[in-house]
Structure 1
Amino acid sequence: MTDSDGATAGDEGDRPEGAPELPADRDAVRDALVDWYAADHREFPWRRTEDPYEILVSEVMSQQTQLDRVVSAWEDFLDEWPTAAALAGADRADVVAFWSDHSLGYNNRAKYLHEAAGQVESEYDGAFPEDPDELSELMGVGPYTANALASFAFDNGDAVVDTNVKRVLYRAFDVPDDDDAFERVASRLMPAGESRVWNNAIMELGGVACGKKPRCDERGCPWREWCHAYQTGDFTAPDVPEQPSFEGSRRQFRGRIVRLLGDRDGMELDALGHRIRVDYAPDGEHGREWLRGLVDDLADDGLVEADAGEDGVVVSLRR
């Protein structure tokens, strides 16, 4: 039997060995998901725009950050730098300080976003490229982000495969926990030329109905009649590495350093250490050697500079 694509349901392009066949009527599967999404979905502001700059900002901010926390930061960021040109012309230290002040984590993302805006202005005459491969040339834009940006801004992407999508495919169609298998099945399910609505819809399904704790009936999952997990009661999902605790982490203290330096010309190393943790002692466990390691990491990321001064090493944000 073939679907509307002319592909055999369950052929080797769809179905890794040992996995059940995909439903024969894939159009019904597709329509059910898209209709479910159209009827009710979370109203994030970046879903109401097709501006590639605004979408890129949302994608970078959303990496390992809860979406509800991103909304206000995204709005504030666009108030400050409403266009790629405005961001490209900004002082990078101001962009990094904003990132740290809003607790968005990994301040090098702010640096990359600033550099990507500069690339758009200098290399693409202010117009974003529309192809995922070209978008991947932008600083800090990996294959996933490039594809998401191409999908949501230009309706020109491939099937997005993130943690949520993997969980949905694993449960619904018993796809093995294998990246290549997920990519193949996701690509076969996505209707041609409809990456914007499809990728939004399947990610929404994983985010609200098929989360770590499934809410199939409560959220009216549109795939219940086809879902392997719903039929068998086995709702296991691929293992997802847990995000390391932020409290007390090197990431937390890196952020404190950037925030402190945001409105200063520079700080001497020991003065900086005493400001970022109460138990700082120059010769202690969390002393100069520990602090210099953090500073060196930030310097490697192009965020700070450490220069020898009259009273020792002085650390400042790189302008």
Structure 2
Amino acid sequence: MTDGDERSSSTHRTASGDVDADAPADDDAPALPDEDVDAVREALVGWYGESHRDFPWRRTDDPYEILVSEVMSQQTQLGRVVEAWEAFVDRWPTAAALASADRSDVVSFWTDHSLGYNNRAKYLHEAAGQVQTEFDGEFPETPAELSELMGVGPYTANAVASFAFNNGDAVVDTNVKRVLYRAFDVPDDDRTFERVASNLMPDDESRVWNNAIMELGGVACGKTPRCDEEGCPWRRWCRAYETGDFTAPDVPTQPTFEGSRRQFRGRIVRTLGEYDELTVDELGPRIRVDYAPDGEHGREWLRGLLSDLADDGLVDVVERDGESAARLRR
């Protein structure tokens, strides 16, 4: 479960489970070692079974209850959703009950529980009505059919098909992209993510697999990874874990500290802590061995750093006998 339908979730499997001919050829994407694929799958499913978060909608295969949880979870933290979800399904326990409710009551509930845009409540109410009138009270079971319900986009349709009917495609949301990018060096390309995710998911296992891989991205492989703390099951195969490079499509490369302005600002503060006051030319060689007054890393460069520190309230810059001097602000 993720933040909403705006996240890519489509795949290119046909009804038989084959990859669509419009998708990139297999040799266009990074290959996982054949002998490791089964082990990768088993490790993830085993990890999920032992340690996943116990949300109430994970204990049901009722498509109505799962749809409610998915709509509520769009851009809302899961911990906040639990209480609202339990109250909602207690008040309107079936699609029929919701369809017969006054829409204003549904919208008021949404507002009272701070669940975001009220149009989601309206769409959910209308979707319940569609189940009654267009599907004879029986929930549709495929992503394509579920997408006909009001407000149900590709991600939600696939999630309900997966978690209620074990009949979905591989989910590709932000969390899944992050996991695949880090673990298997999948390039940042939507079609490639979709193809790799689809090929990696075991046949007829969309319920447990999609839950498991999203849990991995949400718990162990977040923007700040917790590989060892959460016992990530893919550490032995993971490129990021091996190299220490945990960048990802939604995690930009961190600026290098070595040689950065941040590093030299810190050196200035430490050095001035040892002296009452230093002129720029006295300070320069103490923080950079290649300091040259008129060079690239000379007076102008150092004055810029001192100006930043002065703006931050850490340093005072004064003029002494025609020279700039710096001291820590007391």
* Same fold flag (TM > 0.5): yes
Give the secondary structure class of the aligned counterpart of 2:65: helix
- TM-score calculated relative to the size of structure 1: 0.70
Aligned to 1:49: 60
Q: 1:202 to 1:183 in 2, by over 3 A?
A: same
Instruction: Work out whether 1:166 is the aligned partner of 2:141.
Output: no
Distance 1:156 1:182, change over 3 A: same
Task: Encode CA deviations 1:245-287: one digit per residue, 9 max, x unaligned.
Answer: xxxxxxxxxxxxxxxxxxxxxxxxxxxxxxxxxxxxxxxxxxx
Whole-angstrom distance in 1 between the partners of 2:193 and 2:146: 23
- 2:62 maps to 1:62: no
Normalising to structure 2: TM-score of the pair?
A: 0.68
Q: Give me the identity figure in percent.
A: 80
1:22 to 29, 32, 55: 32
Alignment partner, residue 90 of structure 2: 79
Q: Name the residue aligned to 1:265.
A: none
CA distance in 2, matches of 1:231, 1:13: 28
Q: What is the deviation of 1:22?
A: 1.3
- 3-state SS in 2 of match to 1:203: helix
* Aligned counterpart, 2:48: 37
Alignment-derived partner of residue 112 in structure 2: 101
Contact kept, 8 Å, 1:151 with 1:196, in 2: the verdict is yes
- Looking at structure 1, the residues matched to 202 and 38 of structure 2 have their Cα atoms a distance apart, in angstroms, of 8
The answer to whether the 8 Å contact 2:95/2:129 transfers is yes
For 1:162-201, list aligned pairs within 5 A.
162-201=173-212
Correspondence 1:227 to 2:262: no
Paired residues of 1:14 and 1:188 also in contact (CA < 8 A): no
Higher Cα radius of gyration: 2
Q: For residue 239 of structure 1, report the CA deviation from its aligned partner.
A: 2.5
Report what 2:125 is aligned to.
114
The aligned residue for residue 210 of structure 1 is 221
SS at match of 2:34: coil
Counterpart check, 1:142 vs 2:149: no
The answer to whether the 8 A contact 1:169-1:182 is kept is: yes
Confirm or deny: 8 A CA contact 1:37 1:201 kept in the other structure: yes
The 5 A counterparts of 1:292-307 are none
Q: After the TM superposition, which parts of structure 1 deviate over 3 Å for at least 4 consecutive aligned residues?
A: 12-17
Given that residues 13 and 184 in structure 1 are in contact (C-alpha distance below 8 angstroms), is that contact kept between their aligned partners in structure 2?
no
8 Å Cα contact 1:14/1:22 also seen in 2: no
Letter in 1 for 2:34: A
Q: Is the contact between residue 23 and residue 226 of structure 1 (CA under 8 Å) also seen in structure 2? A: no
Decide whether aligned partners of structure 1 residues 202 and 146 sit closer, same or farther in structure 2, where only a CA change above 3 A counts. same
Indicate the SS of the match to 1:130: coil
| Structure 1 counterpart SS, 2:156 | helix
> Residues of 2 paired with 1:157 and 1:168: CA distance?
20
Shift of 1:39: 1.0
> Deviation of residue 176 (structure 1)?
1.1
Question: 1:160-186: per-residue Cα shift (whole Å, max 9, x none)?
Answer: 111111110010011111111110000
Q: Which amino acid aligns with 1:147?
A: N
Unaligned runs of 5+ in 2: 1-16, 253-330
What amino acid is aligned across from residue 23 of structure 1 in structure 2? P
Distance 2:112 2:140 in 1: 31
Q: How many equivalent residue pairs? A: 231
Alpha-carbon spacing, 1:205–1:71, altered in 2? closer, same or farther (3 Å):
same
Aligned partners of 1:172 and 1:78: how far apart in 2?
Answer: 38
Which runs of 5 or more residues in structure 1 are unaligned?
242-319
Cα pair 1:84 1:118 within 8 Å, conserved: yes
Equivalences for 1:240-255 in 2 at 5 Å? none
Which residue does the alignment assign to 1:272?
none
